[in-house]
Amino acid sequence: MTDDSSTKDADDKLFEARFILNMKRVSGLIDLVVPRSIAAEGDPLESDISRAVVVLLHATFEDMLRTVARQRAGTMNAEALADVPLSGASRRAEKFHLGALERHRGKTVDDLLRESVEAYWEQRAFGSCNEVENALRQMGLDTEPFKFLYPGLDSMMKRRHQIVHDADLPNATAREAKPWGFSDNLLLMYWLLHVLTFNAQLHVSIDPADELHRWYLARRTTAIERAREVIRDLLALAKGPADAFAAGFQALGPRLMEVQELLGPPSEEEIREIARKLGIES
């Protein structure tokens, strides 16, 4: 195995390990509240735990982007590097005098570029998908496959902003927060789908030969499409007569279960097919 392939393997393991760790933390919080409040408004403590889930989910998404960006520092071209400030000089990219290099004596150009790029990504925040789009471009990735995820991710970012900056209070004169209800839980599951799917798309964009994550990408994309259909039908029910809502809502149950099943691991037969595509099946 070459040094380059060893580095890539280590990068892939770190990228996935951090994502799995953070998603387990998200799932741990969800398990505290969703089983009891999925079909009803939760109490104030459960509502605040659910708000914490949104914040941690967004942090997981940001960490995923930053981890990959740091690992792809060497792929940034001159145009992308023009946005990166010199390490230790400023938080903004700008012209600098030779005196700014004095503290970097003994470093190679490659060392200084890597240090500056890593510092740049450490301070980047992602509060909208315009920023995500720019980050993907700076990493040298095609943004087109990610765009169908932007509306859902944008809605997650807006809710996270409302929670973090406004304590999730509806307006400047509100004296209490709205309880976290079924519609909030439905949106939370929808956002989880988007973060999971973005992760799979990121893997495939980095390595088109990654058949396992290509399989996950196909399944999660289908799950998002089904979830969107369920949400549209739920909104239509809410606009209809009240006596028809209960029966219509009950009919949506199996479709929600279908979405959940699409998030499961591959079967033995599917694993064999993935192995066959990779050329490693005996």
**Which DSSP string corresponds to the chain?**
--HHHHHHHHHHHHHHHHHHHHHHHHHHHHHHHHHHHTTSPPPHHHHHHHHHHHHHHHHHHHHHHHHHHHHTGGG--HHHHTTPPPTTT-SS-----GGGGGGGTT--HHHHHHHHHHHHHHT---SSHHHHHHHHHHTT---GGGGGGHHHHHHHHHHHHHHHHHTT-SSTT-SSPPPP-HHHHHHHHHHHHHHHHHHHHHHHHH-TT-HHHHHHHHHHHHHHHHHHHHHHHHHHHHHS-HHHHHHHHHHHHHHHHHHHHTTSPPPHHHHHHHHHHHT---
pLDDT at residue 97, as a whole number:
47
pLDDT at residue 40, as a whole number:
47
- Is the pLDDT reported for residue 8 higher than 80? no
pTM of the entire structure? Answer: 0.84
| Least confident among 55-64, 98-107, 235-244 | 98-107
Mean of pLDDT values over 247-270: 85
